[in-house]
Amino acid sequence: MTARPPLAAAHPARTPLPAFPGETPVAGLGGAGLPTPCLILREDLVGAAVAGFREAFPSVAIHYAVKCNPDLALLRHLRELGCGFEIASHPELELLTSVGVDPADVLYSNPVRPRDHVSRSHRAGVWRYSVDSPREMAKLSQAAPGAHVYARLGTDFTASVVPSEGKFGVAKDEVLSLLLDAGRSGLTPYGIAFHVGSQMTDPRAWDAPVRDAAEIMERLAEKGIRISMLDIGGGFPARYDKAVPGILEFGRHITGLLDALPYPVQVVAEPGRALVAEAGVMVCRVIQVVRRGETWWAHTDLGVFNGMMEVLETAGALAYPISAERDGGPARRYNVTGPTCDSQDTFALGVELPAGLTEGDLLFVGSAGAYTTAYSSQFNGFPPPRTHLRRVRDLA
């Protein structure tokens, strides 16, 4: 794993705002004295990301991927912004209904579900379910009779930073068969879905699946079936330690592909990371600084098992920007590691931080709003970070 030098502090005299050089801070901090570790989410940056996605995809309905960050205050804010939602389990639906989300606005896109999750969500009002196998479709016909199904198309998942390893999705002919068989199972053939893998930085990754979906739509139409929805999934990237193509670039490219569909359908997307990652900063505290041989280690109360799991999952390909409260002056490189006894609990190598870093100092991990708290556990008894949604006026 490699890490970039620390990011510039926007307000050195105050708690600093991790920022990309020359750009607006990716996350702000407020509420001095909050227990660490904690995640601060900036409400205004979430809103800006939603607005930016809508500008890039004006005809695409947003269904936020709840798995990315299921914080209740965040879900409520996204509902107020007019977002729909995508779930992977019935407990995620319960989170949504607790903040006033109508189950009719929810997509259930996990294509393999416990039977009771299906029946409970169907009774609650969810009516759209993904599917990628005949056995799961048979389960839906029994547990959610009359449901509308969208078949999941397989993609080349190998190019994304967080690949999906081929766990879900089937070939074009199988998608066609599933949708043709839906009516005979008492279900409605409703749409096609795909997912290109998380943190996908190349808009061309959508080329093949959109073309495949168009071909399936034509073949279905020849059989007298016209679908209503194309779900282009998530995977839209966020900035971490390096720049990525902006959402407008994705919008221009993918919209051109969608314009070539054989007939109009409702297009939906399931962004998660792209909406909330850059709005979040994880605040952690140094619990010890140790020199072992020629290597300096900064031990913190944040680690892989209570927030930084994606570093381990991606073998360091996903590298978070890290800065210190006491920035400036002489610096040295540190390995930044977590509080547990597990030797793999390290989330950054060779990060440049102040040479005088010491116990009690604060560190800030930028672009931490997605797939951090949602992955956290209580391994070794260390608590998951608390999330705090902050408005701009709270940060002044």
CATH 2.40.37.10 fits 277-395, yes or no: yes
Burial of 75 per CB tally in 10 Å (0-12, 13-18, 19+): buried
Q: Is the pLDDT of residue 165 over 80?
A: no
Q: pTM for the whole thing? A: 0.90
Q: Convert 118-166 into a string of H (helix), E (strand) and C (coil).
A: HHHHHHHCCCEEEECCHHHHHHHHHHCCCCEEEEEECCCCCCCCECCCC
Q: Is the pLDDT of residue 62 over 70?
A: yes
pLDDT of residue 135: 96
- 12 confidence band (pLDDT: 50, 70, 90): very low
Q: Supply the residues annotated as catalytic.
A: 341
Q: How large is the C-alpha radius of gyration of the chain? A: 22
Cα angle: 56, vertex 58, 46; to 5 degrees:
60
Look at domain 70-271 and name its CATH class: alpha beta
Mean pLDDT over 10-39 rounds to 49
- 31 confidence band (pLDDT: 50, 70, 90): very low
Rounded alpha-carbon distances, angstroms, from residue 290 to 299, 351, 389: 8, 14, 34
- 395 confidence band (pLDDT: 50, 70, 90): low
What are the sequence ranges of the domains in the chain? 70-271, 277-395
